[in-house]
Amino acid sequence: MITIHYLEDETGEQQVITEIADIAIKGREDSGFANLSKYIAEALAFLEEVGVPKDTKYLPFITKNDDGDPLTFASILKELKHHPPLLEFRVNWRDTGYFRAIFFCLEDSNGNQSIFFTKAILKQESNPPEFTALAIESEKMLKDFLAKDSE
């Protein structure tokens, strides 16, 4: 069994949900954002179906575009090298940018996975400083979560 959770930050906001909602709102006026919103939702459903594999380097996600033709996202997951055990959920769409959501995954002794999303951003460039700041905030959220979970 695989479950996805969206953690609240220190202000009580589920920032990942807020970021996805903002993209969906932009999608009402812009077809690029509408497509990005659609593919984020589909990729999240796929992740909830298949879970996080042991080797996160390659988890292709295949869907269909508006014309019904196959559309492949090469890999929707990536390890954050400088912030283990955090991972990155990735969906790119043409001119809209690069959606990134940071998460961690815990697995119990029965193989059930709980995926916990912490922070998200719609990037316009490869390595913006804002993303690094979100990764640092996510590390704190993970630490706080584990401390609370062990109580």
Q: What is the pLDDT of residues 98-137, one digit of tens each?
A: 999 999 999 999 999 999 999 999 998 878 899 999 999 9
46 inside domain: yes
151 inside domain: no
pTM above 0.85, yes or no: yes
44 inside domain: yes
79 inside domain: yes
Average pLDDT, the chain: 92
41 inside domain: yes
70 inside domain: yes
Q: How far is CA 143 from CA 20, 34, 86, 121, 147, in A?
A: 24, 35, 11, 21, 6
Phi/psi of residue 60, nearest 5 degrees: -70, 145
- What is the extent of the structural domain holding 54? 2-146
Q: b or e along 83-106 (b: 16 or more beta carbons within 10 Å of the residue's beta carbon)?
A: beebbbbbbebeebbbbbbbbbbb
Domain total for the chain?
Answer: 1
